[in-house]
Structure 1
C-alpha cells in the first residue's frame, strides 16, 4: 500500500507504481497534452496550405517526436535529460518563425533551420548558470508577450476561415465567426468550472463541440480522405533539409527563451515532486533538461516534426494525481508513439475546420501573451526596465503592423527583422545589457 509522502506525493521520483496505476496516471497526462501537441502542426500546415496527407503525416510525427522526447527527459542519458517526470510536446513559441520560413522555402527550410538552431539551446543548457544572468525574467517576459501578440493574427485569420475562405470570398462570414465564437465560449465556460477535470478538459471539449457541429452542418468532408487505414512509419528527412539565415536567427532567439522557460518548468516540477530546487543535483537536472530540449528538437526536425519543449501543464497533473514517478513517463511515451502510427488519429484532426481551430488558438495565444505580461509584472519595473520594455515592444510590434518600414533594407536584413519576435527579442536582449541608468 502506497503511503503519502511530502507535498502530497504518493509515488516519488524513483518509485515504481503498479501497472494499473501507472497506466491510469499516464492516461491523465496524455489527456492533458494530446490536443496541445497536435495543434501547432495543424496551424502551420493550414497557413502553408499543405494538403491533407502532408498535414496528417506532420501531426502523426509530432506525436511520435513527443513520445521520443518525453522518454529522453524521463530516462536521462548521461548529461541529457532531467530524470524527472517531464513531458515534452510540440512548442507553440516557434509557430510564427516556422510559418515565415515555410512560406519562403517550404518544409525543407523549416526542418533544416530548426535542426541548426536547436544546437543553440544545447549550448545554453551547458552554460545555464551564466545564461540566466543575460536572459533575465524581464527579457523572457517581453519575448513571451511578443510571441502571443504576434500569433494572435494567425488565430484571428483561422477564425475568419483561413486562406481557403480568402480564396473563395467567404472570409469573415458569419458562419465562420459563429463557429469560432462557439468554440471559444465553450472553452471559457468549462475553464471557469469548479470541477478540476472539466477545467483541464476545456480545450478538448471546446474542439469536440465545434468539430461535431461542423460535421452536422456538412463542413467536414470525410470523402476527401483516400483511406483511414494502414500505418505511418517515420521517414527521416522525408521533406529534405535546407537552410535560411533569417529563419535560423529567429528560431535561435526563441530557443534561448525556451531554455529559460524550461529552467522554470524544471524548478516547478522538482518542487512539486519533493525534490531539491537548489544545489548541484538540481543544477545537473536543470542543465540536462535544457540540453534535452535542444537535442529533442534536433531529433524532431530529423523526424519531420517541429521543436519540442517541456509542457508546464503536466506539473499540475503531478500534483493532482500525487504520482511523480519518472517511470510513468515511459508509459506516456509508449502511448504517444502507438497513437502516432495510426493515420486515422491524425487524419480526423487534420480535417478540423479552421474556424474551430481558430476559436481555440485565439484564446491560447491570448493566454501566452497574458503569461508574458504576468512575468513582466512580477519584476521590479524601474526606469531602465520601462525603457527596455518600451523599446522592445515598440520595435517588435512596429515591424508586425507595418512591415513596409523595412523596404529600404537589404533583402537579408529585411528577412531577418521582418519578424516582430526576432526584432523585439534582439532589442530586449541588447537594450537590457547596454542601458545604464545613472541615479
Structure 2
C-alpha cells in the first residue's frame, strides 16, 4: 500500500477534463487573468521637461499568458495604428467608380469587417490537413487592404469609362459604375490564384527571383503614383480638379474652387500635426501620429463648417457584409496589371513577415521561418480571394504593428485577437464608417499624401541597400525610365493602338497592354524582373559601390505600403534579440 502511494506521489495522474475546466473557470476570477502584475506606467507618455528615466517593459512572447487588460489596450493601439490604412483605399476606389455615398459607406464598413475576420486566420494559423503547409503566420501579424490596388483600380475604371463598359451622361459626366467595381474585384478574385500558387514555392527561390533590385524600384513607383491622388484630394478632391466647378459640389456645405487656400490649409493642419507629434510626442503616441493628425484636421474642418452631416445621418447604425452586392464578372484587360499587383503583394509579405518575426524575437532563418513565410503568403492570397467574395479589394500583410510590438515589447497573439475584435466592432457600426466617408477630401488628402509618401520612402530604403555597381544602376535606370515616365505622363500610350473594329477579344488584349504600359509600377516590375534574370552578375561587385552590401536578411527589408513607423529591431540585430530572449526568459512562456 505504501509503495502504491509512493508511486502516485512520484507520478501524479494528469488532471481530468472536468478539473481542467474547473481550473480555467477559476482563473477567470483572478487578478492575474484580468490585470496581472504588469506595470502599466510603461504605456503612459513621458512628462515633458522632466528627467524621467525611460523604462524597459518586459517582453511577452507569442503565447505568453498576457493579462486581458494589457492585451485589450495593446490591441486598441494596433487598431489605431492601422485604421487610416484600412479606411482610405475603399473611399478612394469608390470615388474612381463614382459610387453613391451609401455604397461608399458600405465599402468602408466591409473593409473593416473583412480585415478583422481574415486577420484572425492569419494570427491563429491553420494547418492544411495531412500536409506540412499552413494558412497564416501564427504571429501578431495583421492584414489590411493593399494600397497597391489603389494604384491599379483608378486606371482600370478610367479605361472602363472610355470603352463604354461604365456609363457616362450625354455631357460626358461619369455616372456610378457598380458593375465596374464588381468586375474589378471579380478579376482580383481569380488572379489571387497566382499568389496562392506562389506560396508553395520555397522562400529561398522567391528571394532570388525578387531581390531588392526588383522590389525597390517597384515600391518606389507605387508610392510615386499614389502621391498624385493624395495631393489632388489635398487641394479639394481627386474627382474635382477643375477651376470651373465648385468642390466637392455646388450643394456642399462650404464649396470652394479646387486648389483654394482653405482646402490646402485644412490638409496642412493634418500634415503639421504629424510633424509636431514626431518631434514632441512620446514613442507610443508616435505610432498613431497619422490618426491623431487626421483627428485634428477633422476637428478644425468641423468647427469651420466643411462637414456634410447628411452622410452620417443617412448611414445605418448597424451594418454587415453583403448589405450591398456587386455583379462579379471577369474584366480581361485588367488581368495583367492585377497579376503584377499580386506579385508585389507577395514581395511585401516576405518583408513584413521577416520584420514581424524579428521584433517578436523569433528566428529569421530556418524551417520554422520558411514555414511562416509560406503560411503568410498563402494567407495573403487566400484572404484576397475571400475578400473579393466579401465585396472588398485584396488584402495584404501590414507592417504598422511592427512598430507597436517594438515599442511595447508585446508580441503576444492575444493582443492581435483583440485588435481584430476592435476592428470588427468599428466595421459593424455603420455610423463609424460614415464618419470617414464624410471627412472633407482636403483633410483626408493631408493624411493619405503622407501615407503614400512613406511608400516612396520605403522604396528608397530598399534601393539604398543595393550595391550601386554598373549592373544595378542599369536595371534601376531602365525600370524607372518607363515606370516614372508613365506616372508623369499617364496617357502617353493611349493612342498607340488604332484598331477600332468589332473584334472584342483583340480589343480587350490591346486594352490590357495599354493598362500595363500606363501603369508605372507594372511596367517597372516587368522590366526589372526581366533585366535581373538576363544580365550577368558583375565579377567586381565593389566597383562604384558607395553603399554597404546586402546582408542575408536585407533581401527581406520590404516595408508594407502603408507603413509609417520604422522597425527598431532589424534582422541585423539578431544577437541583441537573443540577449533579450535570455533576459526575459522568466517572463515569456512557450505555451497557451
Q: Does 1:140 align with 2:195?
A: no
What secondary structure is seen at the aligned counterpart in 2 of 1:94?
Answer: helix
Please, what is the CA RMSD of the aligned residues?
Answer: 2.1
What secondary structure is seen at the aligned counterpart in 2 of 1:89?
Answer: strand
Deviating above 4 A after TM superposition, structure 1's stretches of 4 or more consecutive aligned residues are: 1-4
Instruction: State the alpha-carbon separation in 2 of the partners of residues 271 and 364 from structure 1.
Output: 24
Instruction: State the alpha-carbon separation in 2 of the partners of residues 405 and 293 from structure 1.
Output: 32
Instruction: State the alpha-carbon separation in 1 of the partners of residues 514 and 464 from structure 2.
Output: 32
CA shift for structure 1 position 124: 1.8
Alignment of 1:30-429 (within 5 A): 30-78=79-127, 79-103=134-158, 104=160, 106-127=180-201, 128-162=203-237, 163-164=239-240, 166=242, 168-169=245-246, 170-235=257-322, 238-402=325-489, 403-409=491-497, 410-429=510-529
Instruction: State the alpha-carbon separation in 1 of the partners of residues 89 and 311 from structure 2.
Output: 22
Instruction: State the alpha-carbon separation in 1 of the partners of residues 383 and 320 from structure 2.
Output: 19
CA shift for structure 1 position 228: 4.0
**CA shift in 2, pair 1:80/1:262, >3 Å:** same
CA shift for structure 1 position 71: 0.4
What secondary structure is seen at the aligned counterpart in 2 of 1:17?
Answer: coil
TM (normalized to structure 1)?
0.94
TM (normalized to structure 2)?
0.70
CA shift for structure 1 position 237: 8.2
CA shift for structure 1 position 236: 8.4
Instruction: State the alpha-carbon separation in 1 of the partners of residues 469 and 366 from structure 2.
Output: 31
**CA shift in 2, pair 1:433/1:348, >3 Å:** same
What does the per-residue CA deviation read over 1:302-329, in whole Å, with 9 as the maximum and x for residues that have no partner? 1111211111120121122222122322
| Structure ranking higher in helix proportion | 1
Of 242-251 and 350-359, deviating more is 242-251
Aligned length: 437
**CA shift in 2, pair 1:213/1:48, >3 Å:** farther
Of 358-367 and 242-251, deviating more is 242-251
What secondary structure is seen at the aligned counterpart in 1 of 2:396?
Answer: strand
User: Which structure exhibits the higher relative contact order, with contacts defined as CA atoms closer than 8 Å and separated by 6 or more residues?
Assistant: 1
Instruction: State the alpha-carbon separation in 1 of the partners of residues 206 and 431 from structure 2.
Output: 43
Of 367-376 and 316-325, deviating more is 316-325
**CA shift in 2, pair 1:285/1:411, >3 Å:** closer
**CA shift in 2, pair 1:194/1:220, >3 Å:** closer
Instruction: State the alpha-carbon separation in 2 of the partners of residues 18 and 182 from structure 1.
Output: 38
CA shift for structure 1 position 165: 5.6
What secondary structure is seen at the aligned counterpart in 2 of 1:126?
Answer: coil
Query: CA contact under 8 A between 1:2 and 1:11: conserved in structure 2?
Result: no
**CA shift in 2, pair 1:203/1:3, >3 Å:** closer
